Structure 1
Amino acid sequence: MTTALALTRPQKAAAILVAMGKPAASRLLKFFKQDELKALIEGARLLRTIPQADLERIVAEFEAEFTEGAGLLDSADRMDTILNESLSPEEMSAIMGEKKFEPVVEGPPPIWPDLEKLEPSRLGSFLAGEHPQTSAMVLSKLTSQTAANVLLTMEKPMRSQIIKRMVTMANIPDAASRIVENQLRVSVLSQKASRDTTAGQERVAGMLNEMAKPELDELMQDLEEAGTPDLAGVRSRLFAFDDLPLLPQKARVLLFDGLSTELVTLALRGASPELAESALSAIGARSRRMIESELGQGSEGIALADIMAARKSISVAAIRLSREGAFELPSTQTAAAEAA
């Protein structure tokens, strides 16, 4: 082999720097002048893989300054990496003259922000069919709130398997991460793009939730008779203040725990005894006495619009908690029964 004899001095120097590795080479690069760095770069771009024997001959010429080299290397690519991590873009541009530094494009952007926007049940259904290790890797890439919401849609045994693996999970190799990302793009995000009616269901549900209970029930019946598609998805997003008695006690406690007594008192003005009891039974004894005392003074002088606004605020809070996975709305259970 005569490769070493055919190399120029800048190419030999580039080969030595690459063999040294990034930490040591980075420190040495700071002592080169700009014209010397330019010569190194241009020399490195002409290099290819250097056989071990040739590399050793090059190292022997520098044995007073460098230790023995490191085998087969793709010198041009490694030299680019060392320079890019050691010098700023402005320094690279100055060295290369008219050539502008451009970072290497690694591939498509991460998919995790898009997965954050998916319905937790949709992502949960997909991950339920995957190996728990894969599911653990995916959830570890999401925000804590999103990961929790997805877990709550899965069966308890699967949750335990996934959490156990998340606890012991080390750093995920880039190659493994890319494989999972590509699979998610094909199996989840592509289906979402082609047939995701979630946005439409949310818009319709938002409009219907603005209606009073009688008008809402009447319109839903009309939609059913008209054969409206995806009506179960719309129904699962509906909740009116009058639906409070349909919520389990635990769900009502969660709901009213974050509401002020003033808001609850205003919402219960003029409410039926059953509706009032469904709210008061989920509130602490002291707060309940305060609210009952206020209600006992009547509703004279209080605008109906203010009462309806208070009830709307409580309905919105219930829908929000449901979307966060705290509990299921009665309409969700009805929609599930209809789908079955």
Structure 2
Amino acid sequence: MATEPAVKKRPGAERVAIFMMSIGEECAAEVLKHLGPKEVQKIGIAMASLERVTRGDIDEVLKEFSEVIQDQTALGIGADDYVRNVLRSALGEEKAAGLIDRILIGRNSKGLEALKWLDPRAIAEMIRHEHPQIVAVVLSHLDPDQAAETLTYLPDRMQSDIILRIATLDGIQPAALQELDEILESQLSGKTTAKSSRIGGVQTAANILNFMEASRESAIMDSVKQVDEDLSERIQELMFVFANLLDVDDRGIQRLLREVNTETLVLALKGADEELRDKIFKNMSKRAAEMLREDLESKGPVRVSDVEAAQKEILAVARRLAESGEIILAGKGGEAML
């Protein structure tokens, strides 16, 4: 009788999804209640996209969880250490890091973290009349894509000023953060679990701008440059733009291409230089590359805004894959895990 092939270890998000779907709806729902919006979204996407889950996959995930539980008990080990060990074993070091921060660092935070569950338009309405420095603190605390969308709903005249403040923000006193948290909590309801007094900075500003529509991003950067040219260059160096896909390794490009539809790719490559096109072609099958070349050649004139939108869409996919640890993005400022 043929032996069963070894089970290939799946990425962390998929292992979590398999575990969640193995424990039943009620238990899974209880677990999700303790996670933040980004974690819920990632796990939900992973659960919805699971394919060809074998009995071996399930056994491997449950065995791993069982080993973690057997090795770590609440006796002789602190609760914080127990949480860290379980999350790192289940999710991997990188993916668990942000979740550990949410759970263990300053666990009294309420108002700021609750904003992450709100629609960006609602957040903008809530903060539009606050001092720009307060707005900068709030946006720094949000995830970059949510902060970017929130920024688009604020008046144009405020946007560059807020990005400047975010880029030069080097943290905030815990007492001040707690006061802001309490003010927001008075307007919101909901249980949350994270706080950090070190927020903002050039990288945060760059991350937010990465998610903004290209023309708006350009206008903001022009305004920042007029005020502080050196800061503008530092932000630009940390931004990941479409041309930076050249720095992604071949395996990463292949993974990215599996997530992008052909029409979006054709539009995006209309605005790419020959070197980047060649990298894309190199990481496709010969037949697929030939078809893509034909599509590019037959594609008539397209609007610059459509090309930029397609590139932004692909970059959003790249960041999602980077966040799950499936690819590594290297910005102009040097290689970094995003």
What TM-score, normalized by structure 2, do the two folds share? 0.41
**What TM-score do the two structures reach when normalised by structure 1?**
0.41
Structure with higher Rg: it is: 1
